[in-house]
Structure 1
Amino acid sequence: MNSSHTFLYFAYGSNLLKERLQLKNPSAVVHCVAKLKDYKLVFGNWKGLASDRWHGGVATIEFSPGNEVWGVVWRMNMSDLESLDSQESVKLGAYSPSEVLVKTQGQDLHSRTYIMNSCIYAAPSPQYLKVIMMGAEQNGLPKDYQEKLKSIDTNRYEGQLSVMTDLGIALRKARERGSHRLDA
Structure 2
Amino acid sequence: MLARRIHIQNPTAKRIGAGKLENYRLDFHTGSKNWLGAPATIVPTAGAHVYGAIWEIDMCNLKDLDDQESVPDGVYIPISVPVLSLTSNTDIICRAYHLTNQPLSEVHGQSVPPPSIPLDRQPSQTYLKVLVKGALETGIPEEYVKWLRGLKHNGNQVATMEEKLQLDQVKLS
Q: Is TM-score (shorter-chain normalized) higher than 0.5?
A: yes
Unpaired segments of 5 or more residues in structure 1? 1-15, 172-184
Partner of 1:178: none
Q: Distance in 2 between matches of 1:62 and 1:89?
A: 18
Identify if the C-alpha distance between structure 1 residues 155 and 61 changes in structure 2 by more than 3 Å, giving closer, same or farther: same
Contact 1:53 1:162 in 2 (8 A): no
Contact 1:88 1:95 in 2 (8 A): yes
Contact 2:126 2:161 in 1 (8 A): no
Q: Distance in 1 between matches of 2:102 and 2:80?
A: 19
Partner of 1:163: 161
SS at match of 1:148: helix
Q: Distance in 2 between matches of 1:90 and 1:75?
A: 19
Unpaired segments of 5 or more residues in structure 2? 104-119, 169-173
2:78 maps to 1:104: no
Contact 2:18 2:54 in 1 (8 A): yes
Identity within the alignment, %: 33
Partner of 2:142: 143
Q: Distance in 1 between matches of 2:77 and 2:93?
A: 16
Equivalent AA in structure 2 for residue 118 of structure 1: N
Partner of 1:25: 10
Q: Distance in 2 between matches of 1:117 and 1:161?
A: 27
When normalised by structure 2's length, the TM-score is 0.81
2:52 maps to 1:54: no
Partner of 2:152: 153
Contact 1:97 1:113 in 2 (8 A): yes
Q: Distance in 1 between matches of 2:164 and 2:60?
A: 22
2:63 maps to 1:64: no
Equivalent AA in structure 2 for residue 76 of structure 1: I
User: Could you say which structure has the larger radius of gyration?
Assistant: 1
Q: Deviations over 1:42-76 (max 9, x none)?
A: 0112xxxx211100001000011111000110001
When normalised by structure 1's length, the TM-score is 0.76
Contact 2:2 2:135 in 1 (8 A): yes
Q: Which runs of 4+ in 1 moved over 3 A?
A: none
SS at match of 1:154: coil
Contact 2:43 2:102 in 1 (8 A): no
SS at match of 1:168: coil
Q: Distance in 2 between matches of 1:155 and 1:95?
A: 22
- Name the count of aligned residue pairs: 150
Equivalent AA in structure 2 for residue 117 of structure 1: T
Contact 1:31 1:75 in 2 (8 A): yes
Partner of 1:88: 69
CA displacement at 1:156 relative to structure 2: 1.3
CA displacement at 1:78 relative to structure 2: 1.5
